[in-house]
Amino acid sequence: MSSPCLSSVLTHANLTMYPTGPTDMLLHQPPTLQLSAPSHCSKASAQSYRHSSPHCWSEDQVLEWIGDQVENAKFDANFLSLACCAVNGSTLCQMKTDQMIGVFGPQLGPQLHQSLQDHKSKHELQNLPEPELNETCQLLDNFLDNLSFPLLSTLRFGAVEDAVSKREFDYQDDYDLSLALEPMAPEYFSDGDYMSSSNESASNESEPELSCHLISKVQIKLEKEETQLKRPRGRPPKGNQERSSIYNTPKKTKHAPRGTHLWEFIRDILIHPEKNQGLMKWEDRHEGVFKFLKSEAVAQMWGQKKRNSSMTYEKLSRAMRYYYKRDILERVDGRRLVYKFGKNSSGWKMEEIGMPVLSHQAGGGL
DNA sequence: AGTCGCCGGAAGTCTACC
DNA sequence: GGTAGACTTCCGGCGACT
């Protein structure tokens, strides 16, 4: 069996995971295959393994973990065979140091073993005060899974080469960074006004948000197929006859798994700086006060997760305001784009997520 | 006056659950 | 199939700012 480049898979996973990442991220990371994943992309990778015990890691999560270790060690992933990584967390946890060295080599093996021990002890020691925190981690995993293309979740090692080469082809064929600066070609949309709201709203934003336009053709093509089948959520716009055809389409029967709630999505962005990319920041970490830095970009990400390309910050903020009644969020009067987590929210406090609570740690932290 | 973010009512969809 | 919860969409209004 040949040894497909692990880093290629990881790089693709990252790029497909966040196709609408911030402008600087993509503009400075041309869509070429690299031996080690670009740091930005890597930081934006799922890292869902961090939130579950190594014993419970799936093969995909093991792959993510290995990818991070490869990057940290500046290890040349070309020397790694994907076949070596085709293990789940349970199997991995049974491996001893010498076995790891045997499989991953003398350079990477010990580091992987040490990292695994760290993760194991972290999850054994971590005292989660609320059961929902476990659910939160699962929701985060779901979020990451749902956000990505099915590359990681469907890729099986026997079919890696085919899948990778196909993704390479699709990617190079379809991904166009010029989209960041140019209007999207109308043929990529099923409905011309679907994208108009985001472009329009992005232009309204006081801060530059080029990232709003960074939606790959790959994604758009997928959404095109979806929107042709799926009736848009919410109240239909007044006098909009263009969408009438999709309102008559048969109802989708397949129920998607319960997804992350909006406040959890926001929280996850805030507590995972590697996924934040300057979208939001803590104003007061201790009090749970946060601010949208790139409101429309966050809205686009939310829309991406909900498969709704017409999501805007205005709509997102309406949903946020509903949380006031439920004490999931509290009002922060007089400050634009600023919200505060309420008493019915969870999983954002430092002590809840196992971070050391330092004095003077409020504010500023991503 | 125009723009922007925020507010909250109303009406709608979608999904999970019973 | 019915229902509840969680949004989504639209809209009119408000205050701050330019």
The per-residue pLDDT for range A16-65, each reduced to its tens digit, is 333 333 333 333 333 322 323 333 333 333 456 666 777 777 766 776 67
The per-residue pLDDT for range A217-266, each reduced to its tens digit, is 334 344 444 434 445 566 665 544 333 333 333 333 333 334 578 998 99
Q: Tokens for A58? A: 């799936």
Asked if residue A337 keeps its beta carbon closer than 7 A to nucleic acid strand B, the reply is: yes
**Domain spanning A4-16+46-126: CATH superfamily:** Transcription Factor, Ets-1 (1.10.150.50)
Amino acid at residue number A298: V
* Range A37-57 burial, b when 16+ CB lie within 10 A, else e: bbebbbbbbbbbbbbbbbbbb
Q: How far apart are CA A201 and CA A310, in angstroms?
A: 10
Answer whether residue A161 shows pLDDT above 60.
no
* Protein side of the strand C interface (CB < 7 A): A 197, 232-238, 240, 261-263, 302-303, 306, 308, 310-311, 314-316, 318-319, 322, 326
Closest residue to C6 measured CA to C1′: A261
Q: What pLDDT was estimated at residue A105?
A: 67
Among A312, A289, A294, A310, which residue's Cα sits nearest to residue A365? A289
Fold of A262-352: Arc Repressor Mutant, subunit A (1.10.10)
Gap from A205 CA to C13 C1', in Å? 21
Domain residue ranges in chain A:
4-16+46-126, 262-352
ipTM: 0.91
Q: What pLDDT was estimated at residue A6?
A: 37
The structure's pTM equals 0.46
Asked if residue A360 keeps its beta carbon closer than 7 A to nucleic acid strand B, the reply is: no
Token pair 């995972």: residue: A272
Please give the mean pLDDT across all residues of chain A.
56
Q: How far apart are CA A144 and CA A122, in angstroms?
A: 21
